[in-house]
Chains A and B, each alone.
Chain A
């Protein structure tokens, strides 16, 4: 059993300036994430996904309960630099993240901050830009990029830092299909080959299906968790939360409701193809 990397104990959070009577953005969340896990965070708009991710790099800190990263409490000011170097985050809005005057500087920023030697910085920056297909924009001012280009710059800056845990807030929302595939493959490879822990907030069931565990948030509560095949085939629950499943998952659910004998847990196109072929053979 791998070591616990992230832990929350009765984590509750109310945004500053909100009336005391208002609903907390997170409510009594108990969660353990082991090193090397790949987790998808799903939930309707406003359910608390971004708020939860920001707790793990101490950008926000609990108003009740506690959050530990590798055993360090985010409430302890002395631990924050270490927590931030363990857990790197990309925000939902890449504009909030851009600091450099050129793309190259922007991606190098975190490394310079950590006093990485310049030749190593150059190597890592070049590799990250190459990986995400934006090397041709290296000398450009980052604020003048297209939406998808900015999102890739933010991710390059994070990957160059090589944190042990990646906190990804809807990282593919503005990428084209090829860009989505490149990003998801890169993240999966880091997880598989280097044991990097990943927590990814997403509205796309296809992406959640790639994770080892899916967490469902509702109004700040951790409602349910489990492997993608369980969570993403519970269509009645997903729909009641304003969510859905993959195309194959949705279709399999409807066909079963129409009386077709299909097994549960179908999420991928190929799985549905296999089951329909088996059905044809039996009849």
Chain B
């Protein structure tokens, strides 16, 4: 599905002294099948925007269009939206309300009235996809898991709905390296399916940088930049000014270039850097 917003604004607690204009007149579009990363300093409005896109908050001004149709927040529309859009919260424990891990993951499939056999399959598949398939955990309360296990559970609960659009708020916070690698391999695999769209909010660009094809950068409630990775990361100065940074491999390449080595500054993964340095080595090693 194609999402776009027109002058989308959101104000928390309007009309009180605690009023916060979290988003102001945002015009953006997210293409069907894209892998979009939403960047921005703390408090810039990322989580607010994700909840608006997921239909959990209603704009205080402006509108959201899905496949060209303006979202009116009718009950039928919202039910349809919930089926197609999965949102993983920044604080996973906000998502939990069942007695056991199993029930938590089974909630959405049961809610869609799928037959019990299908529910079980979906639960097992989702837990396996995120790497939380230790049977000792299934009957535990989600609150009795470690923080990283809780995040994996929250992601699995959303995957079990089999959405077409995945909105993930800081999905790697608290995950170990293997869990992060596994998650991004999964997102890449899902994103290859025709029309499957992924939007990720993150402060850590190490793994996501080589997957993302589009970036949106928020700053203090406004859209500061949007574009391809190349367009965004060539504006390092501006990113830095609002408290953001380049992907770690780019920072590393910049350091090598500053030392006088002849490398490309636009590499996003360790593997690309490895190839580049090995090629250089062949050249300098020649007698």
Contacts and interface: CB of A to CB of B under 8 A. Distances in A.
A182 to B, nearest CB: 9
Contacts of B63: none
A203 B175 contact: yes
Nearest to A269: B255
Q: How large is the interface on B (under 10, 10 to 19, 20 to 34, 35 or more residues)?
A: 35 or more
Nearest to B260: A277
Interface in A225-244: 238, 242-244
Interface string A196-213: 000000011010000000
A113 interface: no
Q: How large is the interface on A (under 10, 10 to 19, 20 to 34, 35 or more residues)?
A: 35 or more
A279 B93 CA distance: 50
A80 interface: no
B258 interface: yes
A67 B200 CA distance: 41
Contacts, number: 149
Contacts of A152: 42
A254 B41 contact: no
Contacts of B148: 44-46, 203
Contact of B147 (A23, A43, A50, A177): A50
B182 to A, nearest CB: 9
Contacts of B12: 144
Interface in A158-198: 169-170, 173-180
Interface string B257-281: 0111100000000100110011001
B251 A269 contact: yes
A135 interface: no
A247 B261 contact: no
A147 interface: yes
B285 A95 contact: no
Contacts of A204: 204
Interface string B8-28: 000011000010100000000
A44 B177 CA distance: 8
A243 B178 contact: yes
A268 to B, nearest CB: 9
Given A177-B243, A203-B175, A248-B252, A15 B144 contact: yes
20 contacts: A46-B146, A92-B147, A92-B174, A147-B90, A147-B91, A148-B42, A173-B174, A176-B42, A203-B177, A242-B178, A248-B252, A251-B277, A254-B274, A255-B277, A258-B274, A260-B281, A272-B252, A273-B261, A276-B259, A277-B259
Interface of A: 15, 22-23, 43-46, 50, 92-93, 95, 140-141, 144-149, 152, 169-170, 173-180, 203-204, 206, 238, 242-244, 247-248, 250-251, 254-255, 258, 260, 269-270, 272-274, 276-277, 279-280, 283
Given A242-B176, A272-B252, A277-B260, 14 more contacts: A46-B148, A141-B18, A144-B20, A169-B147, A175-B42, A177-B245, A178-B243, A178-B245, A179-B42, A242-B177, A251-B277, A255-B278, A260-B278, A276-B259
